[in-house]
Structure 1
Amino acid sequence: MNDQPSNGPDAPRGCPVAHGGASDTTRLYGPEAALDPQGIYARLRKEYGAVAPILLEGDIPAWLVLGYRENRRVLDNARQFSRDARIWRDWKDGRIEATSPLIQMLGWRPDCVSQDGEPHRRLRGAVTDNLQTVAGRGIRRHITHFANKQIDAFADEGTADLVADYAEYLPMLVLTRLFGLPAGEGHSLAVSCAQVIKGGEDAVVHNGRIMEILGELAERKKEEPGADFTTGLLGHDADLDDDEVLSHLRLVLITAHTTTSNLLARVLQLVLTDTSRLAGLVSGQLNVSAVVEEVMWNTPPLAVLPGRFATVDLELGGHHIKEGDLLVLGLTAGNLDPEIRPDAGVSVQGNQSHLAFSGGAHECPGQNIGQAIIETAVDVLLHRLPGLRLAVSADELTSTASTWEARLDRLPVEFAAQATTV
């Protein structure tokens, strides 16, 4: 880490990365970040305050926004903090390789998250309209069907890993139905989506696989339209071109699956490590939405949100941010900001002002679908598997983090073996 400048810690500071300090700047990737992201956030907050210089894969400089208020300012102010990566200075100056795994998360595409203003409103309208439509077509029936199919695969064994056997693939199976894809594509698509978020050398290859499958889907739906999200995008009044349709299929598939699978695993973890919550859910005295809300505050499915780009020189959190700088949003760090949550153990029930769904014009449009998947998945699981309990001690549960998320590694459980459904 660089030393504080001689004019004091409260004075605005420039990015050490931009002044030759890259070798001493914290990397938000690699072995340390994978094992202890919370420790990194705490250390950065102590040294730099609400905004800190960091390095992303390939030692690409960025600012990590750690403060809750600072995150809100960035999310709510598209004029100063754009989602349009075409103004990213390191990209414009040729420092980002086209094959960089960062491009999968940060690069410009003809989708609504890469746009601001009227272009964003046009494209987002097509997405939200069609998400609302498919959500109203018996989505809980589809979720129940796939949840039971997943449980059938292990119900008679009396043991399971609820990450690998349930949470990891269930959301994708539901999405295949909503998109008009064969359910058989679900496993490979789930693996590829996870790899795109994880990053590394394979991210580009897996993104290519996703695009190939979705491209074939879009072409098929032109000839064989159905009551699905893909057909809805193709026929929407916003008149999306082929690239826009494909980019939005990719966006919704990757985002919806990875965030919902991660959130489902975390909700199950919280339920199974607290017998009072488990008993409350089984008895009906507690609803799943209250548990989801707590997880959204403490372990949101995306720990770090990509990304925003400064449109002008400005000051944020006591630091000089230059036009074209990249900012990534620390959703977990912001939710646990001691300035707004001096006691993180205090209940947040009924408080929905967390950062987990992003905010501003780009707030997640599919919240109701994710909520439906999680609520139904937990309900089906608890009622199918009497005596469900954690098979290891809570402190044996581990997570592995990438730049953007921290995923639960496994969730081994035991239960009374059951016959499969008919």
Structure 2
Amino acid sequence: MTQQTTGGTASLESHTGLTSLTEITSSPDPQAHYARLRKQWGAVAPVEIERKDDVVVPAWLVLGHAENCQVMRSELDYSRNAANWRWNVENLLPPGTAIGTYTPSVPRPTAFYHDGDERKRLREPLDEALAALDERVVRERTTDMCERVIDRMGPSGSGDLVKAYCRPIGFLAMTTTLGFDLETGAMLMADAASLVSGDGDRVAKAQANTAGIVLEHIRQRREEGGEDLLSRLAVHPNFAHDGEIASSAIVPVSAAAIFLTAWITETLHQVLADRSFAARVSGGRLTLDGTLDEVLWRRSPIAQSPAPRFALNDVELGGRRIRRGDALVLGIAAANRDPAVHTGDPWDEVDNRSHLSWGTGPHACPAPRLARLIARTAVDQLLRHMDVTLTEPTDDLPWAASAWVRHSERLPATWSQVPTAM
């Protein structure tokens, strides 16, 4: 029987001593935290999103797989629009919070922050542009990018694999697909690290810099034309002004900074550090796609969705009373390991894609195929062309300090290029 410390009707703000999301995500064993919260609270638990000037910003963390699906699929009860958040309505947020920059009270003009008809209008151009991409060209460009980065790593060397390979590949492959040249992609990557820094001022500055670069390139693409994502977005009739185009383009740029880097990093970490896992891959019992999926199940790079939902009504979720205006954080990693859907048998996850790393419902990720194509190519190219060995015990490696993304902060390694067969 689930043990709860308080009644299910207590208000969110009445709870104290809350566990920090960053503490959970960057801990050696986040699943232990989720299990403790699940035992104490059930499928929905109060947590701390952020602390600023001694003010704790609270939210409900949704732990259950079924409860996460319920929130993701219902725009009638749970909104992406932060204008519905009580902390915005009542002006409770201290200035300079990172969550305030992610969830502005005046939502940016992108489907990411809207619901209903407005979401549909703004989402349609991105869906159409992604559907029109030639995946063969994307794969070729990503392969070329991998070869460039591998050549830059030299015939042999040592260092941080995240910095040397995972981050530049994930980011530059996505920005190239959008239509940016390598120099511009590098400029965007310099700002990208600030997007998940947790520092509100750094996040705001990075967002402004990124928006300026994207706006300039939108005007160029409209004049020159092209087959890349940005060129297609630049001429789509659904958009009312360039600000809407820029906001829509920034979403996949941010996704590259946040998700692809983490997915590539954790897949390589799993293969390089876990001998039994590596044996299943090298022995052909687990395909590369299966490897990528098992990482999403076991080590979800998105620990919590960086897009909270906001209750539009007083509702009950997982036996807990949610008040109108409450923030709900979707616990992706917790849901993927929910005992109700996760047996613990790794073979149950092979080619099983019912995990929630892409989300579900009207706000599901628009680019799962593109992300998989880039991640698969990046992992395959490194393992094909480099002999890589981690040089520190995996238990000693720190995790990135983030409330949302979980991946190794660094992967100290040695590497040498595999000789090309004649």
TM-score by length of 2: 0.89
Q: CA deviation at 1:345?
A: 5.3
Q: What is the CA–CA distance in structure 2 between the aligned matches of 1:51 and 1:117, rounded to whole Å?
A: 26
Does residue 165 of structure 2 align to residue 173 of structure 1? no
- In the TM superposition, what whole-angstrom CA distance separates every residue of 1:121-141 from its partner, at most 9, and x where no partner exists? 221111011112234360001
Kindly report which structure 2 residues correspond to 1:273-422, keeping only aligned pairs within 5 A, or say none. Answer: 273-275=273-275, 277-278=277-278, 281=281, 286-305=286-305, 306-343=307-344, 347-385=348-386, 387-417=387-417
Contact 1:282 1:383 in 2 (8 A): no
Q: What is the CA–CA distance in structure 1 between the aligned matches of 2:276 and 2:343, rounded to whole Å?
A: 25
Kindly report which structure 2 residues correspond to 1:19-418, keeping only aligned pairs within 5 A, or say none. Answer: 19=14, 21-22=15-16, 24-29=17-22, 34-36=26-28, 37-57=30-50, 58=52, 59-97=56-94, 99-107=96-104, 108-136=107-135, 138-201=137-200, 202-275=202-275, 277-278=277-278, 281=281, 286-305=286-305, 306-343=307-344, 347-385=348-386, 387-417=387-417
The amino acid of 1:12's aligned partner reads: G
Q: CA deviation at 1:144?
A: 0.5
- In the TM superposition, what whole-angstrom CA distance separates every residue of 1:128-171 from its partner, at most 9, and x where no partner exists? 11112234360001001110011111231243432111111112
- In the TM superposition, what whole-angstrom CA distance separates every residue of 1:267-305 from its partner, at most 9, and x where no partner exists? 111111234554565576642100011011112221111
Q: What is the CA–CA distance in structure 2 between the aligned matches of 1:117 and 1:38, rounded to whole Å?
A: 34
Secondary structure of the 2:48 match is: strand
The amino acid of 1:339's aligned partner reads: A
The amino acid of 1:205's aligned partner reads: K
Contact 1:198 1:403 in 2 (8 A): no
Structure 1: gaps (5+ residues): 6-10
The amino acid of 1:70's aligned partner reads: E
Contact 1:199 1:402 in 2 (8 A): yes
Contact 1:155 1:419 in 2 (8 A): no
- In the TM superposition, what whole-angstrom CA distance separates every residue of 1:54-111 from its partner, at most 9, and x where no partner exists? 2222321211101111111111111111112111111011112564311332232111
- The match for 2:13 is 18
Contact 1:303 1:405 in 2 (8 A): yes
Contact 1:311 1:323 in 2 (8 A): yes
Q: What is the CA–CA distance in structure 2 between the aligned matches of 1:357 and 1:167, rounded to whole Å?
A: 20
Structure 2: gaps (5+ residues): none
- Residues 375-384 or 303-312, more deviating: 375-384
Q: CA deviation at 1:336?
A: 1.1
CA change 1:246–1:229 in 2 (3 A) is: same
Secondary structure of the 1:178 match is: helix
Secondary structure of the 2:75 match is: coil
Q: CA deviation at 1:32?
A: 6.9
Contact 2:239 2:245 in 1 (8 A): no
Q: When the two structures are aligned, how many residues end up with a matched partner? A: 408
Secondary structure of the 1:198 match is: coil
Q: What is the CA–CA distance in structure 2 between the aligned matches of 1:242 and 1:384, rounded to whole Å?
A: 42
CA change 1:345–1:284 in 2 (3 A) is: closer
The amino acid of 2:27's aligned partner reads: L
Q: What is the CA–CA distance in structure 2 between the aligned matches of 1:26 and 1:281, rounded to whole Å?
A: 37
CA RMSD of aligned residues (A): 2.4
Q: What is the CA–CA distance in structure 2 between the aligned matches of 1:330 and 1:411, rounded to whole Å?
A: 25
Q: CA deviation at 1:362?
A: 0.9
Q: CA deviation at 1:416?
A: 3.7
- The match for 1:8 is none
- In the TM superposition, what whole-angstrom CA distance separates every residue of 1:216-271 from its partner, at most 9, and x where no partner exists? 22232233332221111111232342121011111111013320110001111111
The amino acid of 1:241's aligned partner reads: H
Q: What is the CA–CA distance in structure 1 between the aligned matches of 2:330 and 2:213, rounded to whole Å?
A: 30
TM-score by length of 1: 0.89
Contact 1:50 1:67 in 2 (8 A): yes
CA change 1:377–1:93 in 2 (3 A) is: same
